[in-house]
Amino acid sequence: MPTITTQPVGQTGSAGQTATFSVVATGSAPLSYQWRRDGADIPGATSDSYTTPATVLADDGAQFAVVVTNAAGSVTSTAAIRTLN
Tens digit of each residue's pLDDT (9 = 90 or more) over 53-85: 999 999 999 999 999 999 999 999 999 999 999
Dump pLDDT digits (tens) for 29-44: 999 999 999 999 999 9
Residue 55: what pLDDT? 93
Whether pTM exceeds 0.85: yes
- Is the peptide bond preceding residue 30 cis, with omega within 30 degrees of 0? yes
Cβ 48 vs Cβ 26: under 8 Å: no
Residue type, 76: T
